[in-house]
Amino acid sequence: RQVELLAPHISRSALTFSIALGVGLFVAVSFLRLILKLSYKWTMVVLYLLLTLLAIFADNFFLGIAFDAGGATTGPLTVPFILALGIGVAGVRKSETSEEDSFGFVGVSAIGPVAAVLVMGIVSRLSGNDPAASVVEGQVDAVYKFSQVFVETLLEVLQAIGPLALILIIFQLTILRQKRRQVIRMFEGLLYATIGLVLFLVGVNGAFMPVGSQIGALIGGSAQNWVLIPLGVFLGGVVVLAEPAVWVLTDQVKEVTGGAVKKSFILIFFSIGIALAVGLAMIRVIFRIHLAYFLIPGYLIALLLAFRSPPLFTTIAFDSGTVASGPMSSSFLLAFTLGASAASGGNPFTDAFGVVALIAMTPLISLQVLGLIYDRKKVIQKKGKEKRSTT
């Protein structure tokens, strides 16, 4: 929606289809990794090297959109479904690594949309088109009537849930054959999900997005635009707690680990990571720094930490990055950044798009650091027990 407002020449349906295809293909890759028993950390290294190659050849205009797409597409509908699939498959295998194998599916799946949009960028570059030439000047501050937003959102949610409902019906008729009570409960869940998503997204699209843009424009256009940095840090730390998928992930972590990994610790490190991400995004807006200067060292640190952090925390971290960048981040925080960029005279596509990418990146680092702390704490406790037993 935000890309369409700023660049009407980019087909919304083509972008949506490409992203959906990317998610589907990489969900399959995540299952293939589990079946072939491939190392998660090495899988991610190879996939991010692939993204790097695609980014080199893609049009720079699509870079921020691509990495934002990876975070924005894994929202409150996708995350619970993919997490549940992963936990189910890992549980059936019952291997020694089933605990860490339960996570990581969302992290792999999120690479698909990035790759898909980067391929669009390569096609655009080869065709000789200049996508920046038809960018609409100004900010994303369009205010719609709630009735208009409601109808559009309802159609979008039905379009998203419809295929899922169809797949569940096919599985019920062919494989599952659950009892009538379970089927009724399943469709009740789909109904609640539909109503909840419609109400949530109407509020997000009808209020949060225009308000975020206006606040960003007001501060970004002022002489004291440095205020964007501390305000961004504060908003990042708070808004992440409003992401529905964050709570789904923390509940799943608590369930799989039997409470060994505390929910409060994950939320604290989540907030620290997102606060840092939005602060960096505001620095980008003010000083107009290229997104690559943040993403390349950030992902290098994350991938290096993957070889030191406990495997469970690595898979949780790569899932958490995409979980944190849900509808609140991709609407309010992105609109806030776009408004600030436009008001300060910057180019929204090169200076503002990428905030969701940073939000998706920083939890990879912060939660793996939590894993190192957790691992160190276990070692100290073990040594303490051994010392007490000898005395």
Chain centre to alpha carbon of residue 87: 19
Least confident of 60-69, 267-276, 299-308, 326-335: 326-335
Mean pLDDT value of segment 196-220? 87
The pLDDT assigned to 140 comes to 47
From the CB of residue 66, how many other CB atoms can be counted at a distance below 10 Å? 29
Check whether 135 has a pLDDT greater than 60: no
Looking at the chain, the whole-number percentage of residues with pLDDT higher than 70 is 91
Indicate the average pLDDT of the chain: 85
Convert the pLDDT of each residue in 142-192 to its tens digit.
445 677 788 888 998 898 888 888 988 998 888 888 888 998 998 898 899
Residues 19-65 have pLDDT tens digits of 889 999 999 999 899 888 889 999 999 999 999 999 999 988 889 88
The reported pLDDT for the residue numbered 4 is 66
Q: Is the pLDDT of residue 277 over 60?
A: yes
Is the pLDDT at 136 greater than 60? The verdict is: no
Q: What percent of the chain has pLDDT over 90?
A: 32
User: In terms of pLDDT, which residue wins out, 165 or 249?
Assistant: 165
**Whole-number pLDDT of residue 96:** 67
**Contact of 147 with 205, CB cutoff 8 Å:** no
The pLDDT of residue 74:
67
Per-residue confidence (pLDDT) for residue 133, from 0 to 100? 54
d(CA 237, CA 138): 28
Longest CA pairwise span in the chain (Å):
76
Per-residue pLDDT tens over the stretch 75-123: 667 777 887 888 787 777 766 666 778 788 889 999 999 999 999 989 8
- The predicted model gives 291-306 an average pLDDT of 94
What the block records as the tokens of 159 is 């379009």
Q: Are 24 and 112 in contact (CB under 8 A)?
A: yes
Rg (CA), the chain: 21
User: pLDDT tens digits, residue range 320-364?
Assistant: 888 877 777 778 898 899 999 989 888 888 888 999 899 989 989
Q: What pLDDT score was predicted for residue 144?
A: 54
Does this model's pTM top 0.75? yes
pLDDT of residue 380: 84
pLDDT at 379: 83
